[in-house]
Amino acid sequence: MIEVSGWTAEPVDGIREVLRAARAEDGRPEVDPAGPLPREFAGGLHLVAHRSGEPAGYLHLDLDGDAHGHQVAELIVHPAHRRHGVGTALAGALVERAAAGFRVWAHGDHPGAAALAAKLGLARARELMVLHADAESAEWPEPVLRGGIRLRAFVPGQDEEAVIAVNARAFDWHPEQGALTVAELRAEERLAWFDPAGFFLAEDDRQRVLGFHWTKVHDPVAGRFGGDPIGEVYVVGVDPDTQGGGLGKALTLAGLRYLRSRGLRQVILYVEGDNAPALAVYRKLGFTRFEIDVQYGQ
């Protein structure tokens, strides 16, 4: 029997259990055993489904929505309770509660998610591609910097406002990234994975920040990439006034070489499926498609 609890504004018991079980099976989401929930589950509303008295699924609804005004949901079913109607029950609750035009993520583009979306009359609205590169065999040359630009590491407590200003300009088109705030960046700095040495800033001779490459290292997950830790090209942002001079590529190479210097053999990144220029750049750097995340919407 499946029981769906009422929506709550605060996380409740069972959420972390579902998320950690999903990570062990799917490699995502990344969940701190004792710290705060990942940023995508912050705020908004929470809903937990139980099956036979055990936490079986979790639904999060971001009421603020993305930059285009769509409320965005994350729906995760515990691996031990999949194919038993838990996802259908949570999806029904989502349709009843969410505002018109909502979006919901399906990580990994599973056929089951596609079938459920079809039942609900939802169509593919966005594709986020996960690309992968073998760091041991990829050719990542020394970055070339022009016009007096230099690279340095991010300094916590000093560089947040400059990075957020560039981020907002670089990603004013992006549904999520462009809305990143100084407070959210500082919250990320408190997480165990944050590494300022792997957060590269590009600045000119007047010490103005023109771009950045924020790298990330994921803890190993059994069965995913051979159980090795995974590096990520987390965010690369360049001020639009500076684009076209090769700074984005230079920042990307600096981060990739740093990840490899840490002994990481696998690197991933996320890129919009319709961003042809970015896909072309990453393919030249040795990246190939690994997975696709799909956002379904009304």
User: 216 labelled as ligand-binding?
Assistant: yes
258 marked among binding-site residues: no
Q: Is 176 annotated as a binding residue?
A: yes
Q: Is 245 annotated as a binding residue?
A: yes
The answer to whether 88 is annotated as binding is yes
The answer to the question of whether 294 is labelled as a binding residue is: no
Does the annotation place 76 within a ligand binding site?
yes
Q: How many CA atoms lie within 13 A of 136 on its CB side?
A: 5
75 is an annotated ligand-binding site residue: yes
The answer to the question of whether 12 is labelled as a binding residue is no
* Residue 244, annotated as binding a ligand: yes
Does residue 298 have a known ligand-binding role?
A: no
- Would the annotation count 69 as a binding residue? no
Question: 272 among the known binding-site residues?
Answer: no
Binding site annotation covers 233?
no
203 annotated as ligand-binding: no
CB atoms within 10 A of CB 119: 11
Q: Has 126 been labeled as part of a binding site?
A: no
- Judge whether 243 is annotated as a binding position: yes
Binding residue ranges: 75-77, 83-88, 176, 216, 232, 236-238, 243-249, 270
Binding residue ranges for acetyl-CoA: 75-77, 83-88, 236-238, 243-249
